[in-house]
């Protein structure tokens, strides 16, 4: 059984004057309908790049893309990386949709929200302009915009940030897509609005049985909604596992460090935060060896300075839990004092 989306060895690079930026390097993941995959990373980790490639949104004249991303459609699988651009375009907005971080700049300021939603609908449906606007009002109502019928003719700037993101979601879902890619959908929003939007995405996912890819830097958001997590660092996936495995049995020092470095509202007391020293790597001319090695506290635990000479493979450490590290699960649990069996 293959999943709805299967990404295999997807690499995206951009040539620049300073050298080749390997923004996404040999990335593989999959997500099924009804499932939420979170892709976590800091800025410059390449977490959005592979998904923009799936959507076909990179400038074909600049981006160098290799690998494959198969959508298992009812009438046979399609590799959206190698398929003709025109074919991929006919999948956008219909089979796969995407919403973005900043809902203000992502909506056209000169067109009413109804107009913009109707435009997406009429691409794949026959119907008059009035049908489109009626469908838009229906969608606005579905995503929880009060008195949707009166608001279809309003312009994006007349909505608040949270309402704009709802408009974006309505537009993305107007043709019942099977895959929704949400790129930092709540980062620009206030925290009380964030929880509204996350709840909405979860409800709609259930209703339409969608596959959801959530791109985020916020591990709290991940814990709230994800089923499976890919952690990215330096353009590569360093860990890929189920949600509980990532949070309680992480097999990668970066994930462990990240979890330790964030303050939590539920943990009182002014303990000192355990910061990860150093800076994230540049994606140009990555050094040999593990990209995280310069910041890793466990480098000395690996024999023969392997970490700085050789890049570890993304290996299955325990059942369905992949990590890119030379350390074995027993070593990790001794070093972090975690009990691999706990929780």
Partner 1 sequence: MLKYISRRLLYTVILLLLVSLSIFYIFDLIPVDPARLICSKQCTTALVEANRHRLGLDVSVFEQWWRFIQGLFHGRNYGEGGIKDIYCGAPSFGYSFNRHACVSTVMAAAFPITLSLTIGAFVLWLSVGISLGILAARKKGKFADRASTAFVLIGTSLPTFITGIMVVLFIVLKFHLVNPLELGNWQNPFTNPLGWLRTFFFPCATLAIAYAATYTRFTRSNILEISSEDYIRTARAKGLSEKVILRKHTLRAALAPIVTIAGLDFAGLLGGAIITEGIFSLSGLGRLSIKAVTQTYDLPIIVATTLVGSTFVVVMNLIVDVAYAYIDPRVRTA
Partner 2 sequence: MSSDNILELHGLKKHFKVNGAFGRGKTVVKAVDGIDLVVGRGETVGLVGESGCGKTTVGRTVMKIYEPTEGKIIFDGVDITDLKRRDMKAYRSKMQMIFQDPFSSLNPRHTVGTIIEAAYIIHKTEPVGGRSKAIQELLERVGLNPEHVNRFPHEFSGGQRQRIGIARALALTPKLIVADEPVSALDVSIQAQVVNLLDDLQKELGLSYLFVAHDLSVVQHISDRVVVMYLGKIMEIATTTELFANPRHPYTKALLSAVPIPDPIIERQRERIILTGDLPSPANPPAGCVFSTRCWKVQDRCVSEAPIPVQISPNHTLACHFPEPAGQA
Which stretches of the chain bind partner 2, using CB under 8 A?
42-43, 146, 160-163, 190-196, 198-199, 217-224, 226, 243-244, 247-248, 257-259, 261-266, 268, 270, 272-277, 279-280, 343
| Residue (of 231, 321, 235) closest to 285 by Cα position | 235
Least distance to partner 2, CB of residue 290, Å: 16
**What's the half-sphere exposure (Cβ side, CA atoms, 13 Å) at 128?**
3
Q: Which residue bears the tokens 């913009």? A: 116
Q: Which of the stretches 29-37, 150-158, 193-201, 281-289 binds partner 1 when contact is defined by CB under 8 A?
A: 150-158
Least distance to partner 1, CB of residue 333, Å: 43
Rg (CA), the chain: 21
Contact letters for partner 1, residues 48-77 (x by CB under 8 A): -------x-x--------------------
Strands 315-318 and 5-16: unpaired
Q: Could you tell which of partner 1, partner 2, none binds residue 102, using a CB distance below 5 to 8 A set by kind? A: partner 1
Per rule CB under 8 A, is residue 97 in the interface with partner 1?
Answer: yes
Q: Which residue bears the tokens 């929200």? A: 113
Per rule CB under 8 A, is residue 163 in the interface with partner 1?
Answer: no
Per rule CB under 8 A, is residue 106 in the interface with partner 1?
Answer: yes
Nearer to partner 1, 123 or 259 (CB): 123
Distance set, CA 214 to CA 97, 148, 197, 273, 282 (Å): 12, 27, 12, 27, 24
Least distance to partner 1, CB of residue 183, Å: 10
**Given 71, 107, 145, 173, the residue binding partner 1 (CB under 8 A):** 107
**Given 23, 37, 49, 120, the residue binding partner 1 (CB under 8 A):** 120
Non-local (6+) Cβ contacts of 217 within 8 A are: 40, 41, 42, 43, 47, 184, 187
| Residue (of 108, 106, 76) closest to 91 by Cα position | 76
């Amino acid at each position: 059984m293959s999943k709805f989306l299967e990404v295999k060895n997807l690499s995206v690079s951009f040539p620049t004057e300073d050298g080749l930026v390997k923004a996404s390097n040999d990335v593989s993941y999959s997500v099924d309908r009804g499932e939420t995959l979170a892709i976590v990373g800091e800025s410059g980790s390449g977490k959005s790049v592979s998904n923009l490639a799936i959507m076909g949104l990179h400038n074909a004249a600049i981006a160098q893309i290799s690998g494959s991303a198969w959508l298992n459609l009812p009438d046979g699988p399609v590799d959206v990386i190698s398929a003709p651009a025109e074919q991929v375009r006919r999948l956008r907005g219909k089979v796969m949709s995407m919403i973005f971080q900043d809902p203000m700049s992502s909506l056209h300021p000169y067109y009413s929200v109804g107009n913009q939603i109707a435009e997406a609908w009429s691409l794949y449906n026959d119907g008059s302009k009035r049908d489109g606007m009626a469908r838009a009002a229906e969608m606005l109502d579905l995503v929880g915009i009060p008195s949707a019928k009166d608001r279809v003719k309003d312009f994006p700037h007349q909505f608040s940030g949270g309402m704009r993101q709802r408009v974006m979601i309505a537009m993305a879902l107007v043709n019942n897509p099977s895959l929704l890619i949400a790129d930092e959908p709540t980062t620009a929003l206030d925290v009380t609005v964030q929880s509204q939007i996350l709840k909405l995405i979860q409800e709609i996912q259930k209703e339409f049985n969608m596959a959801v890819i959530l791109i985020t830097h916020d591990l709290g958001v991940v814990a709230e909604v994800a089923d499976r997590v890919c952690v990215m660092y330096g353009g590569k996936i360093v860990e890929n596992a189920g949600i509980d495995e990532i949070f309680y049995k992480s097999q990668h020092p970066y994930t462990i460090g990240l979890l330790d470095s964030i303050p939590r509202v539920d943990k009182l007391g002014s303990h000192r935060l355990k910061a990860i020293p150093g800076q994230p790597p540049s994606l140009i001319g990555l050094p040999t060896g593990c990209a995280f090695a310069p910041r890793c506290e466990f480098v000395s635990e690996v024999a023969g300075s392997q970490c700085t000479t050789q890049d570890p493979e993304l290996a299955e450490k325990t059942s369905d839990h992949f990590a890119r590290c030379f350390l074995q699960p027993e070593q990790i649990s001794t070093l972090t004092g975690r009990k691999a069996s706990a929780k």
